[in-house]
C-alpha cells in the first residue's frame, strides 16, 4: 500500500523573497512584511539582522543569507565576523570577495569566517559583477543600494544564468520604490533611494509548491491555496511544465487543484532560469516512458550539493538509466518501478535532493532516506505531511 500524503495549506512565504525583504527592512524598520517563514535560511538571516551591532554572526549553510548579509554588514560601521557552516564553506565565494574589494571594504577570509570592516562604500568606479556562478552576488549588491550618498553604477559580465531571480529582485525593489536605469548589462542606481511602500505581502514559496504539486500528481491530487497569479518567482513556471508532462491542473482565483496523473510524459526543458526545479523534475522524468533531457544549467554543480551528481546518485540507486551532462542530464524513464530491493539514499545535506527522494518513494521506490533534516533549510513542515517514519519505513 502506498503511503498517504496529507498536505495542509498554506505553504509558507517564499524563502527567496522573504530574505530579500529582510535586507530591505534592515534599512527601513518601518517596512512591514506580511507572511511568515520558518525556513532555516530565513531564521538565520532574521536573527543576524536583529542586532547589527553584534560582533559575531552565525549564518549556518545558507549561501543566499551569507551573500546578502556580507554586503549589508559592509555598510554597517564597525568590525564584523560572519561564521560559515561546514557545507557553506565548500561553495564558491570569490565573486563576493571581488565585489567587496571593488567597494573598498577591508576584509579577511579564511573559508570558515569572513571578517570585515563596515562603513561607506567607495563608488568612484563602476562595480563589475560576474553572473556566471550565481545571480545572488548582483542581487545582494542591488538589495544593499538603499540610501547611498553616491550613485551606484554596475556592469554585469559573464553568462546569464538564473535571470528569473534577477528579475524577481528587480521587480521587488521597483515595487518598494527603488528607482534605477537598467540597459542591457549596465545598471545605475541614483543616490538617496528610499521606500515608497511600507507593507509588502510575501508570496508562498514556488519551489515548495512544485514538490507539493509533483507529489499530488502521483498520489491522488492536491489543492494549493494562496497561489499568486502572477508570481514574481520564476519557479512558478512549474505549472506549465507539469501540464506539458500530462498533468492536469485547474485554477480559480488564488487556488490551484492538481489532479491525479496515471502516467507522465517525457520532456525536454531548459533549466537556465529555474535550476531549483531540477531534482524533483528529474524524478518525474524517471517515471515517464521515454527519454527526457534537462539542460542549460551548469550552475547546478555549485548549489547546496553538486546536484547533477546528487541526482545521478538517486537515479543510479533506482536503476534508472541516465547520462550526466555538464549542464543537466538525459534520463531514460520507465513508468514501471525499476527497483525491487530496499536501498539507502543520501541527500548530501541538500533540501532539494531530499524532496526528490520523497517524490521517488511516493511513486513506489523502496528507499531509506538519510539526511532528511536537510529540508529544514526551506520547508521544515515537509515531512509532517507523510506517515510517521516515512523516510525509514518501507511501504508495500
Q: Print pLDDT tens along the chain (396 aa).
A: 679 999 999 999 999 999 999 999 999 999 999 999 999 999 999 999 999 999 999 998 889 999 999 999 999 999 999 999 998 998 889 999 999 999 999 999 998 999 999 999 999 999 999 998 889 999 999 999 999 999 999 999 988 777 899 999 999 999 999 999 999 899 999 999 999 999 999 999 999 999 999 999 999 999 999 999 999 999 999 999 999 999 999 999 999 999 999 999 999 999 999 999 999 999 999 999 999 999 999 999 988 999 999 999 999 999 999 999 999 999 999 999 989 899 999 999 999 999 999 999 999 999 999 999 999 999 999 999 999 999 999 987
Choices 3.40.50.300, 1.10.1040.10, 3.40.50.2000, 3.65.10.10: CATH for 206-385 = 3.65.10.10
Closest CA to 47 of 83, 16, 24, 22: 22
User: What distance in Å separates the CA atoms of residue 15 and residue 21, rounded to the nearest whole number?
Assistant: 10
pLDDT at 340: 86
Indicate the domain borders of the chain. 15-201, 206-385
pLDDT at 159: 82
Grid cell 543576524 — which residue?
48
For the entire predicted model, the pTM comes to 0.95
What the block records as the C-alpha cell of 343 is 536501498
User: What is the DSSP track for 112-162?
Assistant: SEEEEEES----SSPEEEE-SS-SHHHHHHHHT-TT-SS-EEEEEES----
pLDDT at 202: 98
pLDDT at 338: 83
Strand partners, 169: none
What the block records as the C-alpha cell of 393 is 519505513
pLDDT at 161: 72
One-letter-per-residue 3-state SS of 266-315: CCEEECCCCHHHHHHHHHHHHCCCEEEEEECCHHHHHCCCCHHHHHHHHH
- The CATH number of the structural domain formed by 15-201 is 3.65.10.10
Query: Would 15-201 and 206-385 be classified into the same CATH topology?
Result: yes
Secondary structure class of 175 (helix, strand, coil): helix
One-letter-per-residue 3-state SS of 77-121: CEEEEEECCHHHHCCCCHHHHHHHHHCCCEEEECCCEEEEEECCC
Secondary structure class of 373 (helix, strand, coil): helix
Q: CA geometry: angle at 90 spanning 330 and 270, to 5°?
A: 25
Amino acid at each position: 500500500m502506498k503511503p498517504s500524503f496529507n498536505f495542509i495549506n498554506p505553504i509558507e512565504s517564499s524563502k527567496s523573497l522573504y530574505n530579500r525583504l529582510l535586507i530591505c527592512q534592515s534599512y527601513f524598520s518601518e517596512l512591514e512584511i506580511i507572511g511568515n517563514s520558518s525556513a532555516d535560511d530565513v531564521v538565520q538571516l532574521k536573527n543576524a539582522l536583529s542586532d547589527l551591532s553584534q560582533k559575531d554572526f552565525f549564518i549556518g549553510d545558507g549561501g543566499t543569507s551569507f551573500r546578502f548579509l556580507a554586503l549589508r554588514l559592509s555598510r554597517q560601521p564597525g568590525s564584523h565576523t560572519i561564521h560559515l557552516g561546514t557545507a557553506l564553506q565548500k561553495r564558491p565565494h570569490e565573486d563576493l570577495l571581488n565585489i567587496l574589494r571593488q567597494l573598498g571594504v577591508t576584509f579577511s577570509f579564511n573559508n570558515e569566517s569572513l571578517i570585515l570592516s563596515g562603513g561607506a562604500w567607495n563608488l568612484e568606479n563602476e562595480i563589475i559583477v560576474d553572473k556566471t556562478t550565481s545571480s545572488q552576488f548582483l542581487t545582494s549588491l542591488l538589495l544593499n543600494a538603499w540610501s547611498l550618498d553616491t550613485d551606484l553604477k554596475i556592469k554585469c559580465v559573464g553568462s546569464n544564468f538564473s535571470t528569473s531571480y534577477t528579475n524577481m529582485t528587480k521587480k521587488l525593489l521597483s515595487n518598494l520604490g527603488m528607482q534605477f536605469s537598467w540597459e542591457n548589462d549596465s545598471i545605475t542606481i541614483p543616490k538617496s533611494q528610499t521606500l515608497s511602500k511600507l507593507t509588502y505581502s510575501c508570496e508562498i514559496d514556488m519551489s515548495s509548491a512544485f514538490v507539493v504539486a509533483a507529489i499530488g500528481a502521483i498520489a491522488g491530487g492536491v489543492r494549493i491555496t494562496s497561489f499568486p497569479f502572477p508570481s514574481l518567482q520564476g519557479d512558478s513556471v512549474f505549472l506549465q511544465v507539469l501540464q506539458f508532462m500530462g498533468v492536469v491542473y485547474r485554477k480559480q482565483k488564488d487556488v490551484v487543484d492538481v489532479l491525479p496523473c496515471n502516467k507522465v510524459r517525457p520532456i525536454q526543458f531548459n533549466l537556465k532560469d529555474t535550476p531549483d526545479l531540477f531534482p524533483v523534475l528529474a524524478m518525474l522524468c524517471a517515471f515517464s516512458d521515454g527519454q527526457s533531457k534537462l539542460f542549460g544549467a551548469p550552475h547546478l554543480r555549485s548549489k547546496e550539493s553538486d546536484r547533477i551528481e546528487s541526482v545521478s546518485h538517486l537515479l543510479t540507486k533506482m536503476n534508472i538509466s541516465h547520462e550526466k551532462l555538464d549542464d543537466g542530464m538525459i534520463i531514460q524513464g520507465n513508468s514501471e518501478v525499476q527497483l525491487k530491493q530496499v536501498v539507502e539514499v543520501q541527500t548530501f545535506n541538500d533540501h532539494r535532493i531530499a524532496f526528490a527522494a520523497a517524490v521517488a518513494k511516493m511513486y513506489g521506490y523502496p528507499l531509506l532516506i538519510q539526511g532528511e533534516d536537510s529540508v529544514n533549510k526551506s520547508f521544515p513542515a515537509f515531512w509532517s505531511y507523510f506517515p510517521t517514519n516515512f523516510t525509514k519505513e518501507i511501504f508495500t
